[in-house]
Each structure stands twice: as structure tokens, then as C-alpha cells.
Amino acid sequence: MAGMRLVLASGSASRLMLLHNAGVEPIVHPADVDEETILARLETAPPRERVAALAQAKCETVAPVYPADVTVGCDSMLLIDGQLTGKPHTQAEAIRRWENQSGKVGTLLTAHYITGPQCDGSPSRKTFADVSETRVYFASPTRRDIEAYAASGEPLPCAGAFTLEALGSWFIDRIEGDPSGVIGLSIPTLRRALYSLGIDASSLWNR
């Protein structure tokens, strides 16, 4: 598998940062999928299944372009009060989300769908799928801090309207689980995926 690369089917700066910190320089190829349609089709499905479907769709959209490489699709959503929430997109929605989740505990679900390279000319590829779960304990920010955080723009493209690694760290009391999964891509899950595909993690490190 000489020259094999890792393809990230996402434009997330946080996921890219995690891979860079782990010694990997991926190909970044954001997947163009209709997330709302996928979620609507699975409206009554369990939360893990809904998030997993998004990750699989992203990976399967991009993977055919890179038959000799590993492709990683991810998606994250916050499960809180029995409801799944994704990206707030607007300041008003980010404020509303924080007014609801302040002082509560939620579960950040990060789904991974990973395909290995084609082998021996076969069109089939090995796959790995898993959903990491991390409990997130939200602080109770002041109204002014909630508004300032929303105005910063940082939480707008983030599942659950928060980050763990930047400004949002002010308002997270603690987590129980994998920090990288909360940021957007679980490195331990990726390691397990690579091993299941017969690939050493170090084979993807920058040399």
C-alpha cells in the first residue's frame, strides 16, 4: 500500500487540525450531501443510526474518487433532552441552544465511516463504522457571555453550538469520554478502523 493517503470527506477545520496534530496530512475533499433529506428519511430511527447515516453518505460520496486511499467520513450531533441537534447556523439559534443547554448534560455523538483502498483490482473495499459517545457537562454562562460567544461566529458551524478546543472551552465544565471525538474525529476510533483494515497508523504519518 505504498503511497496510500488519507482522504477527509469534510471541510471541518477542527477535523483537519486533529489529523495534523496526529501527524497526518490528508487530502481534504468535502462531501456534498443533502443532510436534511437523509435525516428526514430517518426521522424515527435511533439517534446513533441517524448520525451514522450522515457519515456513511459523506464517505461513500467521496471514496470512489480515491480508489487507492483510505477515506474518512464523519458527522457529529448533540443528543440532549432526548433531541438531536446539529449546527445552529445563525446567532439567534446559537443563543437559543445555549439558553436551553446551560447547566445540563448532553451526549456528543460522532459517527465515523471509513473505507480502505481497493485491493488487487477488486471493486469492493473493506469498511469500518462506529459512533463514539462522550458526555458533555455544560456550564451556565451569563447572558452576555452567551451573546458574545454567538456573535464570535465560532459555534455557528458546530454540532451542539459549541467547541471544546477554542472559545467554547470557557463554557464546558468537563467531559466523560474521548476529547477528539467531541472536536469532530475520534483518533482512537480511527486507529481501530485502520487496524481492522490491516493498515498501520504510522503508515499515514508525514515522513
Extract the C-alpha cell encoding 202.
504510522
The C-alpha cell that represents 83 in the structure block: 433531541
- CA–CA distance, 1 with 124 (Å, rounded to integer): 16
Amino acid 85 reads T
CA distance 13 to 125: 27
Are 11 and 30 in contact, with CB atoms under 8 Å apart?
yes
Containing 59, the helix (H) or strand (E) segment is helix 47-62
75 given a catalytic annotation: yes
Give dist(CA 9, CA 98) in Å, integer: 29
* Conformational region of residue 133, where left means phi above 0, alpha means psi within -120 to 50, and beta covers everything else: beta
Nine-digit cell string for 149: 460567544
Query: Which is catalytic among the residues 69, 75, 130, 178?
Result: 75
Q: What is the dihedral of CA 10, 14, 18, 21, to 10 degrees?
A: 120
Q: Please identify every residue annotated as catalytic.
A: 75
